[in-house]
């Protein structure tokens, strides 16, 4: 069996499991970039998404000017292709982490690249909350904080899990793109060690591992969405 695998995937076997170019190292780098950029970008996206909903004309704190500013910020960042964003904010990345290359440096553009997408997803999810429920909460004296936490976030929790799942899957794709320009991870493995060296077996296995990560995220997201659905709670 081992000999057969070595014949089919010679470059994959040669690449090894550990070391700077090892498979385990690449997997850990991808998970590292995905996790931390999901945290930072997720917080930004949730804040901006909430702000878009509460400052909208039918929100609990309507403000046409503030909504317009927030909406334009989200739209501008979302319109910038990620590969251009990587280069555009390189000086900012240098100032924050002291380098423009590597997995830690990639967290800055990844967070800024994913937050506008997540903000729009959050906006749509929170907009799905029944306005009658919000009015009922207001009628019994609920504060704006109570409405945000106990109505918006609670009522839309299942939908928020679903849009978070979609965002995480998109983020895994962005880490692969960042890896292609030196950030490490499975994207770097597929391009630098696979495509650039005509080692098609490496490209194939790296792509397969990315797909497995996406599948795991999708399964976990669907499971959590089901158990957190307020209708089944």
- Write down the domain spans for the chain: 18-228
Quickly count: other Cβ atoms within 10 Å of residue 14's Cβ: 12
pLDDT of residue 3: 66
122 neighbors 163 (Cβ within 8 angstroms):
yes
pLDDT of residue 53: 93
Q: For residue range 13-57, what is the model confidence (pLDDT) as tens digits?
A: 777 777 777 889 999 999 999 999 999 999 999 999 999 999 998
Regions of the chain where pLDDT drops below 70: 1-9, 180-181, 230-233
pLDDT of residue 37: 93
- Class of the domain covering 18-228: mainly alpha
pLDDT of residue 93: 85
92 neighbors 108 (Cβ within 8 angstroms):
yes
b (16+ CB within 10 A) / e for 120-137: bbbbebbbebeeeebeeb
Q: Phi first, then psi: what are they for 115, rounded to 5°?
A: -65, -40
Q: pTM for this structure?
A: 0.87
d(CA 82, CA 15): 29
């Amino acid at each position: 069996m081992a000999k057969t695998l070595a014949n089919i995937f010679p470059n994959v076997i040669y690449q090894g499991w550990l070391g700077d170019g090892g498979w385990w190292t690449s997997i850990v780098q991808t998970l590292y970039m995905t996790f931390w950029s999901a945290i930072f970008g997720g917080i930004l996206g949730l804040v901006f998404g909430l702000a878009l909903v509460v400052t909208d004309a039918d929100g609990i704190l309507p403000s046409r000017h503030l909504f317009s500013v927030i909406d334009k910020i989200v739209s501008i960042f979302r319109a910038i292709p990620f590969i251009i964003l990587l280069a555009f904010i390189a000086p900012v990345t240098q100032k924050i982490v002291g380098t423009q290359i590597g997995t830690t440096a990639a967290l800055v553009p990844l967070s800024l690249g994913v937050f506008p997408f997540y903000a729009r997803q959050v906006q749509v999810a929170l907009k799905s909350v029944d306005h009658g429920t919000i009015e009922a909460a207001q009628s019994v004296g609920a504060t704006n904080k109570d409405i945000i936490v106990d109505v918006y976030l609670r009522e839309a929790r299942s939908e928020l899990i679903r849009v978070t799942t979609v965002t995480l899957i998109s983020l895994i794709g962005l880490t692969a793109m960042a890896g292609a320009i030196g950030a490490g991870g499975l994207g770097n493995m597929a391009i630098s060690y696979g495509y650039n060296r005509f080692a098609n077996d490496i490209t194939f296995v790296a792509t397969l591992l990315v797909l497995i990560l996406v599948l795991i995220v999708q399964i976990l997201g669907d499971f959590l969405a089901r158990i957190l659905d307020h209708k089944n709670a």
